[in-house]
A and B are shown apart, each in its own frame.
Chain A
Amino acid sequence: MSNSIKNLTLKIWRQLGPTVKGAFETYNVDEISDEASFLEMLDYLNERLISDGKEAIVFDHDCREGICGTCSLMIDGQAHGPQRGTATCQLHMRKFSDGDSIVIEPFRAAAFPIIRDLMVDRSKFDRIIESGGFITAPTGGAPDANLIAIPKPVSDAAMDSAQCIGCGACVAACPNGAANLFTGAKVAHLNRLPQGQPERFKRVESMVETMDEYFGSCTNHGECEGACPKEISVDVIALLNKDYRKAKFASRKDLAR
């Protein structure tokens, strides 16, 4: 049978809008089942706030299965909370104990302005993808899918980085607010595949330049990897840097020609 967790003190960031000053407010949750997810605990608190005539705490969430990347909470100073390789929505109350005090904040980064309370704007990630995070293959002209055999290890490695859910925890965890893990993951996915070769260097060049426009620069702290719910390895950043250097070299040669 499920047990319950008692006497939780929550310090939650409330902020009306991007330009309004925010502050922590304290809420108590007397009792919650240890089977409940962290977000269900917030649902429960919100129900109480509404019945007290107060405004519900705004937070982003959708699939609650750890796959859509919408949920985005800083829990006790850790992006997505204490459990490694786990998105906020997959964190369960059984990880907490009676009497705990929990600090809940939005993902903070210069490139992620706060919309309201715990909800931030991560659309700069979309800008990075729009600038090159794709393979140009207009609908209709594709050859048979088995025409090009892809060695399993290559395809598996591409899949390892393709798993990125675009949540932004890497940026929130990074002292510089850099997006190299996110960008590196996409580059490592596409640049490893045979289909990704024709645009390989053009892709990395425009994605890195768009990234640099909005995000801080990477100084190899490695905090991102620890916060990533998909445990994407910092190796993708090495690959990103390598391909970017090659791309720059290639374009220098182009210019010289």
Chain B
Amino acid sequence: MSLTEDLLAQNTVQLNSKIPLGSIEDKWDNYKADMKLVNRNNKRKFKVIVVGTGLAGASAAATLAELGYQVDSFTFHDSPRRAHSIAAQGGINAAKNYQGDGDSVNRLFHDTVKGGDFRARESNVHRLAQVSVNIIDQMVAQGVPFAREYGGLLDNRSFGGAQVSRTFYARGQTGQQLLLGAYQQLARQIGLGGVRLFNRTEFLDVVTVDGRTAGIVTRDLVTGEIESHAAHAVVLATGGYGNVFFLSTNAMSCNVTAAWRAHRKGALFANPCYTQIHPTCIPQSDEFQSKLTLMSESLRNDGRVWVPKNPNETRPAHEVAESDRDYYLERLYPSYGNLAPRDISSRAAKRLVDKGQGVGPLKNGVYLDFNEVIARLGHDVVQERYGNLFEMYERIAGENPYDMPMRIYPASHYTMGGLWVDYELQTNIPGLYAAGEANFSDHGANRLGASALMQGLADGYFVLPYTIGNELAPLLGKTIPGVDHPEFKKAEQAARDQYNGYLNIKGTRSPDWFHRELGKIIWDRCGMERDEQGLQQALSDLPALYEEFKTDLRVTGDGMSLNQTLEKAGRVDDFFQLGMLMCRDALSRQESCGGHFRTEHQTDEGEAKRDDENYCHVSAWQWGGDAMSPNLNVEPLEFEAIHLATRSYK
């Protein structure tokens, strides 16, 4: 018996992924043909709460309101326009095959499954590839100014892990333009009264009554007021947890609180150890740094990555002779070269820096060099393509990349793990959905570049609006629990107690101090490379630090007004608990796949070695009452349309 079968027999929760019948190409059509519908006039009888106004949340809220549902939209930002999605630079994939280079839905599907190292659910990925084409049509209709060719048609570029050009972009600000598109559509609905917006309002808890989602509890960040909101269904589109590492490319306010509180209420958390470390970020410059900046992967279309062969090299980059440089990605992965996927490129950089071949004052980076392309195409063309990224680099690093190669190093960027959802994007709690980066659904153990924007918009525009109806149809005419139900009161009280608790500790260390220390442990032990000993160490260091957090935290101010220190305390608390689960998950997965690299499991050439016999499954964890005793549930992954194969980019 394989380990997967063994574990399956011990599941504590019945996991039904609800994959529709039929061939992979037909599943989504079959689903839509069979799903239950809510009549347009009846839709207004249903209230749907959407938490999050990033790409996934804004597109879902706007579309659900267009369909006629009553929608309440929540964000802790001051405006829906500011969600973290805004920072995405490089682009969004779609199987349009506008370049005629052999792209198709099937190829995008294959690339995504392979890119995810065969740890994603096939049926979801195929649907994603199918609807990808609609996203581009939708966004162009809304006025997103994607880059165009001189003839007026849409332009494309290439991204890591693909040999076709299928990435649509708007200069280096694709996320901004897509988010503003979705935000404007949401704003229109707010203006029309279809959506009520609750800004500067933080989701704190999901409330369930008799096992079904009844609503949520929130905190008004300006007044500190804790409130309940009842609904027929709740969507969490609350983003990823990359900030568990403290230093990351995520926006400062990104956090796991929404997903984590849902997890504590019974929702399973899947594959928490699948995190993505992005290869091209500006290296840390000093101890005080609180945020790292990404340099878009699109730069690898034209930039060449290298380090000096000699660890003691002291010459400035442009004086190092060609023969003294190691273009290691081109050397190790000749067919993909500088566009090797993220996990692979990141590990390659780490190994060279660990060997002492790093560059820059702290020797903590590698070069990304544009010399060759500037010579070939000229300064102006390069400026047109990457101008704003070059300027951003210069502002931060104080060096001009037209003259000196950029220095880059991997950093935490994206999290593939998240709330477990079925084919309908519903968690195991009926009526609770998760969309965008907050769910675990489509990227397996590694996400390809330009696929997160695609997934967020696919979920919000083209999946949830259908699947929610299927759940709501049978509820027509039934009354749902109101906010005076005791479960709401209980959750409100628990939230008040929690925040008062932080204020009452009156210790000596700030939430940020704990966050930084926590992040260091996770980065060292559960970052780019993991091993048993390190993970065990983390599982003893983390609870110890967490104890300190609970007894030595200092939060100044009070709970009845705007208090950023208090907000942060709640978020760091959840990061602690999540961090423990990440290490537990990484420890239990005794194989290497995608972003999860266990040094014990590698090939002779140092590549990830999967174990399909025993680990071809999703690990979905159930909260077991405290952070150190979760229950493992597995969903076996079956590959019917694509054959399990070793992932090679040589």
Which residues of chain A have a CB within 8 Å of any CB of chain B? Answer: 1-2, 16-17, 32-33, 35-37, 39-40, 43-44, 47, 49-51, 53-56, 58, 60-70, 83, 86, 90, 92, 94, 115-116, 119, 121-123, 125-126, 129-131, 133-146, 149-152, 155-156, 158-159, 162-163, 165-166, 189-190, 193, 195-196
Contacts and interface: CB of A to CB of B under 8 A. Distances in A.
B83 to A, nearest CB: 8
Nearest to A122: B78
Given A122-B79, A190-B143, A195-B143, A62 B188 contact: no
B512 A143 contact: no
Interface stretch (B31-39, B172-180, B588-596, B623-631): B172-180
Given A40-B288, A130-B188, A134-B142, A90 B395 contact: yes
B187 A126 contact: yes
Given A51-B510, A64-B251, A134-B143, 18 more contacts: A35-B398, A43-B288, A51-B508, A56-B556, A62-B84, A64-B252, A130-B187, A135-B184, A138-B66, A142-B137, A142-B140, A145-B154, A146-B154, A152-B149, A156-B145, A162-B145, A162-B180, A195-B143
Interface of B: 59, 62-63, 66, 77-82, 84, 86-87, 96, 98, 134, 136-143, 145-154, 170-171, 173, 175-177, 180, 183-185, 187-188, 190-191, 197, 199, 222, 251-253, 285-286, 288-291, 293-294, 361, 392, 395-396, 398, 461-462, 465, 508-510, 512-513, 554, 556-557, 561-565
A39 B180 CA distance: 25
B184 A129 contact: yes
A17 B561 contact: yes
13 contacts: A39-B290, A51-B510, A53-B554, A67-B173, A70-B82, A115-B562, A139-B66, A139-B185, A140-B134, A145-B96, A149-B153, A165-B176, A195-B140
Contacts of B461: 139-140
Given A43-B290, A123-B78, A67 B396 contact: no
Contact of B62 (A47, A139, A149, A151): A139
Given A63-B251, A130-B187, A195-B143, A144 B176 contact: no
Contacts of A55: 556-557, 563, 565
Contact of B510 (A1, A50, A163, A166): A50
A63 B286 contact: no
Nearest to A90: B395
A142 B176 contact: no
Contacts of B147: 155
- Residue among A16, A62, A142 with the most chain B CB within 10 A? A62
Nearest to A191: B143
Contact of A62 (B82, B142, B180): B82
Nearest to A62: B251
Which 10 pairs of residues, A with B, have the shortest CB-CB distance? Answer: A149-B152, A130-B191, A134-B184, A142-B141, A137-B141, A142-B137, A35-B285, A145-B140, A159-B145, A50-B510
A60 B251 contact: no
B142 A137 contact: yes
A39 B564 CA distance: 15
A126 B285 contact: no
Nearest to A162: B145
A146 B98 contact: yes
A144 to B, nearest CB: 6
B561 A16 contact: yes
Contacts of A1: 361
Contacts of A145: 96, 136-137, 139-141, 146, 154
A155 B79 contact: no
Contacts of B562: 58, 115-116, 119
A43 B246 CA distance: 14
B82 A149 contact: no
A143 B137 contact: yes
Contact of A195 (B79, B141, B151, B465): B141
B249 to A, nearest CB: 8
B63 A68 contact: no
A92 B151 contact: no
Given A69-B81, A139-B465, A152-B152, A129 B145 contact: no
A193 B143 contact: yes
Nearest to A60: B78
Nearest to B558: A55
Contacts of B148: 149-152, 155
Contacts of B140: 142, 145, 195
B60 to A, nearest CB: 10
A47 B153 contact: no
A136 B154 CA distance: 21
Contact of B138 (A66, A94, A137, A193): A137
A119 B77 CA distance: 12
B286 A58 contact: no
A121 B78 contact: yes
A64 B96 CA distance: 33
Contact of B396 (A61, A90, A115, A195): A90
A94 B170 contact: no
A68 B86 contact: yes
A184 to B, nearest CB: 16
A228 to B, nearest CB: 15
Contact of B286 (A36, A54, A56, A66): A36
B79 A65 contact: no
A218 B251 CA distance: 34
Interface centre among A39, A43, A159, by most B CB within 10 Å?
A: A159
A130 B190 contact: yes
Contact of A51 (B79, B146, B462, B554): B554
Contact of B556 (A32, A50, A193): A50
A121 B152 CA distance: 40
Contacts of B253: 62
A37 B395 CA distance: 10
Nearest to B395: A90
Contacts of A123: 78-79, 199
Contacts of A50: 510, 554, 556, 565
A138 B143 CA distance: 12
A60 B398 CA distance: 25
Contacts of A63: 82, 84, 86-87, 251-252
A33 B86 contact: no
Contacts of B177: 159, 162
A49 B554 CA distance: 11
Nearest to B175: A67
A136 to B, nearest CB: 7
Nearest to B293: A65
Contacts of A131: 191
A249 B134 CA distance: 38
Given A123-B79, A129-B184, A143-B141, A94 B564 contact: no
Contact of B82 (A68, A83, A94): A68
A115 B80 CA distance: 18
Contacts of B291: 40, 64
Given A121-B78, A195-B140, A92 B398 contact: yes
Contacts of A37: 396
Contacts of A141: 141
A56 B398 contact: no
B173 A163 contact: yes
A163 B285 contact: no
Nearest to A1: B361
A141 B141 CA distance: 9
